[in-house]
Amino acid sequence: MNKWLEKKIVLIVTVFLLIQPLLDIITSISIRTFNFNLTLGIIIRTCFMIYALYNLWFVIKNKYTKIINIYSFLILLYMLLYSINIVLTKDFHVLVYEISGLIRTFYFPIILIFIFQMYNENKKINQKYLIYLFFIYAGLILIPNLLGLGYPTYSITKKGNIGLFNTANEVSGILSLLFPLVLAYILKNKWVLIIPFILICFYITFSIGNKVPLIAFTITILFYILYYLIKTSLKKKIIIISSILIISYISLSFIIPKTTFYKNIIIHLKFLKIDSVSELLHIENIDQFLFSRRITFMNDTKHAYDKANISSKLLGIGYIKNYSTDLVNTKTIEMDYYDIYYSHGIIGFILYFSFIIYLIISIVRQLFNNFNPNKYPCLISLIFILLLSLFSGHILTSPAVSIYCAIIIVILYNKKESYENSSSND
């Protein structure tokens, strides 16, 4: 069986990757229609994590096997200690909820080392599937929204529709991370489609009403504009810049005021009773308007962490704060680094990020020693991973998104792998 698993590993991972949108839709229907939180998506993703661990321990054998096995064993040991601490500091009634959060968070480092080992065995995922997935996600937002069938992005006040998905945060993260790869592919192979592609992407993000993909799309487009300007002559630069400025000004002045994104900004400003830019610069309003009260939630969680005993400081306070008090809550900060630190303590935080930091340091060294321009798309995506994990969350701690993070990081780390080469040769 191990030989069969080794032979079919790329096929199995590819199939699992391609059914991600289906799993997200099933999750959305289960939660929105039946109010059922234990979804098929959670079950299948957990089974895949177990499959990944089995491959790491019994199937894949190379020079990294020993250190990877030690790392994965330490993760499982930490999970056991975390669960014991939850029972001792809270009780058995919350164990299922806490373990669910534990698995959801530590899904990423486990999948990361699995993808890492796959690529070390020269078993690589055809990166065109990432492009297909972007268009599948985009289509499952675009078509339902055009037909008036999309689920609302927000439960109250703000406007927007998220297609057939459950939450805007996760699907916005996926679109943001994959967009640089798709844009690079279109510029290289289907450049005549660039204008309609960008228009559709902005329509989707405006209809969602979420600022994350809008910022990611804009930064990526500006990067490639700058990149191509540097490579062209002065005369062409003047023509390109002038055309972009004129078209952008005319288009945006007509389009933006009619979008749900713009309407949500107005709704938010009215709610906060902000009438001028100077009022927006107050720390309370910055927290409310830009961070959706994440700084407030962080301070509340920090307060709960500071009051915890030493075992909880080391292993984490979990996902239910102030348990057995009148202040009990399950609201996460939605800033992944802080959520991981407070929920999983000093030991969990160090264990979680140790391998990720190793890979990122190796990537940075490669950038200085022998940078491959074909890795620009994945490099932009990596920057989004690091920034969005801090400012919007639901990137590293969401299995639906973190699998793409793992693939992108490993592609960048792999010295022989580049976005362009994989797209054309696989």
pLDDT of residue 237: 60
Q: Are 122 and 417 in contact (CB under 8 A)?
A: no
pLDDT of residue 157: 63
pLDDT of residue 68: 96
Average pLDDT for 352-359: 96
Q: Are 339 and 317 in contact (CB under 8 A)?
A: no
Alpha helices in 232-335 (DSSP H): 234-255, 260-272, 277-280, 283-289, 294-307, 310-315
pTM of the model: 0.90
Q: What distance in Å separates the CA atoms of residue 11 and residue 6, rounded to the nearest whole number? A: 10
Question: pLDDT tens, 329-350?
Answer: 888 888 999 999 999 999 999 9
E strands in 10-150: none
Q: Are 334 and 393 in contact (CB under 8 A)?
A: yes
pLDDT of residue 425: 41
Burial class (CB in 10 A: 0-12, 13-18, 19+), 357: exposed
Average pLDDT for 354-364: 95
* Predicted confidence band of residue 107 (pLDDT cuts 50, 70, 90): very high
| H or E, element range at 17 | helix 2-18
- Mean pLDDT, the chain, rounded, equals 86
Question: pLDDT tens, 278-327?
Answer: 555 566 666 665 667 788 889 999 999 999 999 999 999 999 998 888 78
| H or E, element range at 48 | helix 40-54
The 8 Å CB, 24+ separation contacts for 34-42 are 41/400, 42/100
- Select the more confidently predicted residue: 267 or 184: 184
Question: pLDDT tens, 119-167?
Answer: 999 999 999 999 999 999 999 999 998 998 888 887 666 678 889 998 8
Residue type at 108 in one-letter notation: F
Instruction: Provide the token pair at 377.
Output: 């798309």
